[in-house]
Amino acid sequence: MVVEPLVVGLLLAAALMHATWNALLKADRSDRLATFGVIMTTGTVMGLLAVPFLPPIAFGAWKYLAISVIVHVAYYTFLLKAYSYGDLSHTYPIARGMGPLLVALVSGQLIGEHLRVQDIVGVALLSAGLVALAIPLKSVIPRQGARHGLATLFAVLTGFTIAGYIVSDGLGVRAAGPDTAHRLAYIAWLCVLEGPWLLVFAVIVRPGTVRSHLRRNWWRGVVGGLIANTGYGIAIYGLALGPMAHVAALRETSVLFGALMGTLLLGEPFGVRRVVAAAVIVCGLLLMNGPQLL
């Protein structure tokens, strides 16, 4: 099963949105936790505005919705722990590269999506290329081996949660109903239920700092939230239209967009190794979305 070109284009747009809101979050040097909370809470507001105009989702979709919210909370927890122990450049590629590979490994047994051999090879190439692309150009030897190990552990756990919410949302959006309106309703309800917890946590742990930060930088979270929730909504919708492993892999090309943004906008070097990694990613995508090879 090959993803339709229109869906491929939408998923690449979603990947670009993912890289964009991550760049906005990374550029915030005052309180990223609070900004992240606003990003997610903006999704809650978007969902609340949309729900009254959409049909109710099927009863069977609610269990997947509940699982997705729980997995997303675990995802935020592991991601923040990984960032507390290690660098973004170390943890992010591990987590994002593992997601599509794990989905490819379990999709056949769990949801009956049996991939072609070239699909599996394509996902493996793409995951390897993502990791190679995001590794720093200069190796950094950690000063504390234990902290480096914990960063790796939490990055791996983050990768498992990424695969978990992709599968749960893929099953949920397919069970939500027979048409586009029901799929949009699932996306809206996910935004409503998933959104506020991170901001609530930020207010609890440091209320004074969060209020001061929000008075000055609320706009960054709102803009990031509009981009982030639209992008993930597109990704979820794509899960209803194509194989989950393909959708997951296409969305994680956000790492490639992020590297390009760093090079073109921030003056960061790209390097020969990253050129090779980008070529590997393209080869993986072509294998996954190309005709059956003999």
- Domains in the chain: boundaries: 5-289
Helix (H) or strand (E) holding 38: helix 32-50
Backbone angles phi, psi at 54, to 5 degrees: -120, 155
pLDDT at 164: 93
pLDDT at 155: 83
Interatomic CA distance for residues 38 and 219, integer angstroms: 9
Interatomic CA distance for residues 138 and 246, integer angstroms: 31
Report pLDDT digits (tens) over 161-200: 999 999 999 999 999 998 999 999 999 999 999 988 888 8
Identity of the residue numbered 3: V
pLDDT at 294: 46
Residue (of 186, 177, 173, 159) closest to 51 by Cα position: 186
Reported as half-sphere exposure (CB side, CA atoms, 13 A), residue 170 has a value of 24
Q: How far is CA 206 from CA 15, 50, 78, 198, 213, in A?
A: 32, 31, 20, 12, 11
pLDDT at 270: 66
Interatomic CA distance for residues 209 and 74, integer angstroms: 24
Question: For the chain, which residues score pLDDT lower than 70?
Answer: 1-3, 26, 86-90, 109, 133-146, 148, 258-259, 262-263, 265-270, 289-294
Q: First and final CA of the chain: distance in angstroms?
A: 16
